[in-house]
Structure 1
């Protein structure tokens, strides 16, 4: 079925994104996976050609596009089996907190650097003992004059080692209600007491630097707080919908690329004198994958259109994150089987896709949390 999500301007943008990724990213992927992070120069290059925060307006140094331009970037990163260039996190998860909840001075101060790639962003919510339970955060922010003093630790923070700006969720003292005592702070990398403690070793997403962070009497100017004190939980709840939609978008695009490459392989690979695509089991399994992908694509495009139109889609974004990340797991597992022993070799993109797919069921709230949210939206 024909897609109608994008207009001609988005497709022109797609061409430029694809050319950039083929030229500047694909040749360096192996190096980045080996070193465990993307070169800072790549972020600056991406900013120069408009891949970072493409929805930001000209007043803040952006090109004035929309969220669909970001969707193009997400899809094109999946097409090249990207394993860690966390542009969607930077552009569409973290920067929106500054854009939506920052005051004018904060936006003028930080957004231009987010657009150019001079300021790489991270967000620090997860703690060693809290996982998806944001109300149980232990990191504290105590007001002392014109500063807040942050103490605590965060873990599994993508872009944690590279980041110049980190949006940090911490407990303030304005209320005993766990939903009204969380505030968000933009902590700059050179702030005394902000410690990038450890880069974590992972089974997938090899080029993405994921870190443990610590805050040790970290004095953050009060002017770095986003929005009112105690409003952080509601801010997080609002923005997590887009974060979950991004996981769904990445999962869908990855499944499409895996299927396309598996079809090519199955038509070329021979066993017992004929292409393996000619065996009934292979063709049936490929047909099942194709059906899931086609159905998923049209649900996701519909949700994305409504999101772009400004609807607050708690249930639908949670459903998309749940279903599409699970669907990707099914598709990539089945398609890897067609490759036999080669599918287990990391030199083959299908192997990287397999290990990278697993975290999608954990990102942005585990899939078990998605089921809780969906059930609540159903009145259960």
Structure 2
């Protein structure tokens, strides 16, 4: 998608960046967006297509973003102010004090990180910080935090989130990777495999779901452990060849009698399932924002192409059937954009525990819908680009790559059908709880 000094290409930016009034954004948001557009545009987005084609990001890319202060914004809001001050960080990009950072700021950052239209290059930077660090912040004891958080927050070390396994994807309660207490009582001995782990080959550690409760213990036997990966005896890692998001480093990790200090237990034994589920809420919201921007890039690229491509004696844009395709996708795209913005605003006003309870199911639904919208917009773009959209080089190479990202939008973070079901189940659960409370109150 080309930059222009003239009017913005229709659908290329969310309405608030196209001059439309909005109740959600203030000067701090605009300062952040300008800072992100400059730094991320220069250091990531202008190279993203080339890197995804080469299937690798530069080795120093993460350190570049660390030095610029553009990794920490992937953390959930509110930020860990005390910890950030302890390591000498007082402001976020755009000069925003860490105390004033909200979910709306986080949404703007996630949107700008995906502005190239590709999930892989941005995922190579953000995934570990966004999804692997929060369990340490929210559930680890002070001793474990003191040992690992400073280096993580300063970008000296990296972690990944390791939940899924070959036989346990969205069915988290079915994981089999075991962590048994050693005979000496000082260690967990970890055995098993993790699959589809983003950033797995890049990370020094894994924030990992393990089974401590033995076979048949189900969700109650799951715990969370902070596991060393780099140069660790018994750990083997390799890249997986996936259809899209190639540069994000999707990995297969095997553990063969890996000794991990028992002090590396995050929170309490048997409560890992709760930690995983709560952690999913930020993950799904962060992913939803990026997917929505990818859909925008795909559709606006098609819009631009249709204005200049001629067929049957006139431009594609002069063909009613083309306008009809664009219109249907534009409607669902802008509806999804509005939903994402509304979610970010609600999250900025609710305490985490309340947001997890009230918005968990809806966040799952928002993520699922984002994938559906991307599928529609990317498919529309490929069809309108025609043969160019089916070719890995040339005019349509970006939309071809975005279309290969679609399964990565609809499966990770909870596959689409699982999330649709989860959303309704949680709505029903919350409704029944409120109904019971109302009946109890009426008896008083």
TM-score normalised per structure 1: 0.93
Q: 1:293 aligns with which of 333, 336, 353?
A: 333
Q: Which residue of 2 aligns with 1:334?
A: 380
Q: What does 1:111-122 correspond to in 2, within 5 Å?
A: 111-122=149-160
Q: Which residue of 1 aligns with 2:277?
A: 237
Check if 1:36 corresponds to 2:76: no
Secondary structure of 1:5's counterpart equals coil
Check if 1:360 corresponds to 2:418: no
Check if 1:18 corresponds to 2:33: no
Q: Which residue of 1 aligns with 2:181?
A: 143
Q: Which residue of 2 aligns with 1:104?
A: 142
Q: Which range moved further: 73-82 or 59-68?
A: 59-68
Distance 2:216 2:266 in 1: 20
How far does residue 28 in structure 1 lie from its aligned partner after superposition?
Answer: 4.0
Q: 2:363 aligns with which of 317, 321, 330?
A: 317
Q: Is the 8 A contact 1:36 1:209 kept in 2?
A: no
Q: Which range moved further: 173-182 or 274-283?
A: 173-182
Distance 2:135 2:321 in 1: 48
Q: Which range moved further: 158-167 or 189-198?
A: 189-198
For the structure 1 residues 273 and 175, does the alpha-carbon distance in structure 2 shift closer, same or farther, using more than 3 Å as the test? Answer: closer
How far does residue 111 in structure 1 lie from its aligned partner after superposition?
Answer: 2.9
Check if 1:82 corresponds to 2:118: yes
Cα RMSD (Å) = 2.1
Secondary structure of 2:138's counterpart equals helix
Q: Which residue of 2 aligns with 1:46?
A: 65
How far does residue 324 in structure 1 lie from its aligned partner after superposition?
Answer: 1.3
Q: Which residue of 2 aligns with 1:222?
A: 262
How far does residue 115 in structure 1 lie from its aligned partner after superposition?
Answer: 3.2
Distance 2:322 2:139 in 1: 51
TM-score normalised per structure 2: 0.80
For the structure 1 residues 219 and 6, does the alpha-carbon distance in structure 2 shift closer, same or farther, using more than 3 Å as the test? Answer: farther
Distance 1:226 1:345 in 2: 47
For the structure 1 residues 111 and 40, does the alpha-carbon distance in structure 2 shift closer, same or farther, using more than 3 Å as the test? Answer: farther
Check if 1:131 corresponds to 2:180: no
Q: 1:193 aligns with which of 208, 212, 233?
A: 233
Distance 1:117 1:82 in 2: 23
Q: Is the 8 A contact 1:52 1:116 kept in 2?
A: no
Distance 1:192 1:276 in 2: 57
1:180-211 deviation line (CA, Å, top 9, x unaligned): 21111111223633523321111111212111
Q: What does 1:364-379 correspond to in 2, within 5 Å?
A: 364-379=413-428
How far does residue 277 in structure 1 lie from its aligned partner after superposition?
Answer: 0.8
Secondary structure of 1:74's counterpart equals helix
Distance 2:346 2:257 in 1: 43
5+ residue gaps in structure 2? 1-14, 16-20, 74-78, 92-97, 430-444
5+ residue gaps in structure 1? none
Q: Is the 8 A contact 2:299 2:380 kept in 1?
A: no
1:115-158 deviation line (CA, Å, top 9, x unaligned): 33322221111111112111111111111222111011111111
Distance 1:69 1:116 in 2: 20
Secondary structure of 1:80's counterpart equals coil
1:156-185 deviation line (CA, Å, top 9, x unaligned): 111011111211111113896322211111
Q: Which range moved further: 189-198 or 49-58?
A: 189-198
Q: Is the 8 A contact 2:103 2:345 kept in 1?
A: no
Secondary structure of 1:166's counterpart equals strand
Check if 1:248 corresponds to 2:294: no
Distance 2:372 2:418 in 1: 14
Q: Which residue of 1 aligns with 2:212?
A: 172
1:66-102 deviation line (CA, Å, top 9, x unaligned): 4333322221122112341313422322211111112
Q: Which residue of 1 aligns with 2:306?
A: 266
Q: Which residue of 1 aligns with 2:85?
A: 59
Secondary structure of 2:196's counterpart equals strand
